[in-house]
Amino acid sequence: MRKEEWFQNLLKQSGGCLVVDGGLATHLEHLGANINDPLWSALCLIKNPELVRQVHREYLEAGAHIIITASYQATIPGFCSRGLSLAESEELLRRTVLLAVEARDAFRKSQQEKDIDDKNLQPALVAASIGSYGAYLADGSEYSGIYGPEMTLEKLKDFHRRRLQVVAEAKPDLIAFETTPNKIEAQAYVDLLREEAIDVPVWITFNSKDGVNVVSGDPFEECIGLAASCPSVVAVGINCTPPRFIHGLILNAKKVTTKPIIIYPNSGEMWDGEKKEWVVSHFCDNGVHIQDLPFSFLHPSTGVSDTDFVSYVHKWRESGASLIGGCCRTTPKTIRAISEALKRR
């Protein structure tokens, strides 16, 4: 069965919409992990892999159908810079998939122990994350897409090639190219998928800070069209983008592709690459300028609450999103609310 047919059948069996998990690093921090490090969540692969497995399990229990591995910022150069050998670095990449598979298998076993009929078992898929070159730099450039004039398509392909090979060999259900900030990196992914004959279904998602372009300024529709042109790509969409932009981006994506649209926004805050922290956007999620609001209106977290986040879900679904989840600053509580909202629908 072709990849697209497999994925379309999966969506049909799940009522037309799948729930993606939420912020892995966010929940790792909630559980006490210190990931203020260039490796970010990938640091836990070295120091506390059991905690990664726990986060995956909690997202499945919250209703997620797809859990994303802790490999977003896990790169071979990044691990080698910490003194690990090439073999050790590649093994850590494989471990990201193994931890998610172990969490999934334990969850499925618990479902079966509850005598849930096989045909009613919740889908539980593992998507191996591949973050952008900017994520490896750990300087916030995945939110600008500005890699400098010396960056070329071939350099990006060289950077991503071996990591893609390793995670594909680990046999996840899907590969997720996430937070893609510019068109040249999307082209690198499409070329690599063809050159390496990757046999794992893929999604590619972009991030935007204006609701029209990806963060580099490249037109969003052009990027989506490029990603969707690849036969290995079974879904395209948006992640780590403020919720207020998602509806319009879904509609724009639908202008250039009939492939399923995946969206997993962040909480509405913005990442400050210099301060290494999430900060409040200049605008609240309804478009009102922060300075025009009374101080008492602002939530201490400076982000969109779970209630407000979930209030968008039906609009996103009706607009054409087939996969819905959360990104940075969302938690299992957010995903549980999304899952319950979709079930009620």
Annotated binding site: 240, 327-328
Q: What letter would DSSP give residue 269?
A: -
Evaluate whether 183 touches 221 at the Cβ level (below 8 Å): no
Residue environment code for 73-98, b if the CB has 16+ CB neighbours within 10 A, otherwise e: bbbbebbeeeebeeeebbebbbbbbb
Distance from C-alpha of 267 to C-alpha of 127, rounded to nearest angstrom: 21
Evaluate whether 66 touches 20 at the Cβ level (below 8 Å): yes
List strand residue ranges (DSSP E) for 273-319, in order.
277-279
Distance from C-alpha of 250 to C-alpha of 33, rounded to nearest angstrom: 34
Residue 158: partners with Cβ closer than 8 Å, 6 or more residues away: none
The full DSSP string for 203-258 is EEEE--SSSSB-TTS-BHHHHHHHHHTSTTEEEEEEESS-GGGHHHHHHHHHTT--
For the annotated binding site for Zn(2+), the residues are 240, 327-328
